[in-house]
Amino acid sequence: MALPIGVLALQGDFREHAATLDHIGVQHRLVRTVEELESVAGLIIPGGESTTIQKLATMFGLFEPISEKIRNGLPVFGTCAGLILIADRLLDGIEGQSTFGGLDVTVRRNAFGHQSDSFEIDLDFAGLDTPVHAAFIRAPIIESVGPNAVALATLPDGRIVAAGQGNLLGISFHPEVTGEHRIHRLFADLVKRAI
């Protein structure tokens, strides 16, 4: 791969994403500035707290540049808070919360009640032969997928937890904390094709 994959490193579990990329031998760098953003061929937006990542992205002058890169086709993979941040439409956001947008889905923040705030489950994932082990941590749900995106994984009750659209991939759960490397591999392949 000519350019590294960037991992947005403002807040959240960006270190786990970097470790997952190390594990599969994909070159990467942490992104905290516009210059760093300019030097990557794709971007992972980690789990964490979407409102905090939004605030820090604005403070670091990254909010508009990231939105623009997404509109111009930069491959982006968002997990959990990262999914919220790449969704076109958001439910249950805080006052004034906005997203980079790009993925034609409606996402609901903190969609699971207190009792099931966090849980793990095996799920079928489009393009993978065997189920992925998925960890949900105060996760969002994809309430609906617009005509430009496709659902890639659902819970047993039918609720959508992963969607893709062109160079964008968004998932509700955290493969980077369960030793599941195949979705990062799918994203790295997507970045390779986009270069």
To ligand GLN, the closest distance from the beta carbon of 45 in angstroms equals: 10
User: Is residue 50 part of the contact set for ligand GLN (CB under 6 A)?
Assistant: yes
Residues 148-177 that bind ligand GLN (CB under 6 A): none
Q: Establish if 109 lies at the interface with ligand GLN (CB under 6 A).
A: yes
4 binding ligand GLN? (CB under 6 A): no
Q: Which amino acid is residue 50, in one-letter code?
A: S
Residue from 84, 14, 90 nearest 46 by CA = 14
Contacts 24+ apart (CB under 8 A), 128-131: 128/182, 128/183, 128/186
**Span interacting with ligand GLN, options 17-25, 27-35, 60-68, 79-87, rule CB under 6 A:** 79-87
The CA-atom distances, in angstroms, between 186 and each of 95, 122, 168, 191 are 35, 18, 11, 9
Q: Does 137 bind ligand GLN (CB under 6 A)?
A: yes
Taking CB under 6 A as the rule, does residue 49 contact ligand GLN? yes
Q: Smallest gap, in angstroms, from Cβ of residue 79 to ligand GLN? A: 7
Q: What is the three-class DSSP state of 18?
A: helix
8 binds ligand GLN (CB under 6 A): no
Residue type, 29: R
Minimum Å distance from CB 84 to ligand GLN?
Answer: 5
Are the C-beta atoms of residues 66 and 100 closer than 8 Å to each other?
Answer: yes
CA pair distance 143, 141, nearest whole angstrom: 6
Q: Is position 80 an interface residue for ligand GLN (rule: CB under 6 A)?
A: yes
Please say which residue, 41 or 162, places its beta carbon nearer to ligand GLN.
162
- The verdict on 47 binding ligand GLN (CB under 6 A) reads yes
The secondary structure element, H or E, covering residue 53 is helix 50-59
By annotation, the residues acting in catalysis are 80, 174, 176
Q: Are 139 and 109 in contact (CB under 8 A)?
A: no
Binding residues (CB under 6 A) for ligand GLN: these are 47-50, 80-81, 84, 109-110, 137-138
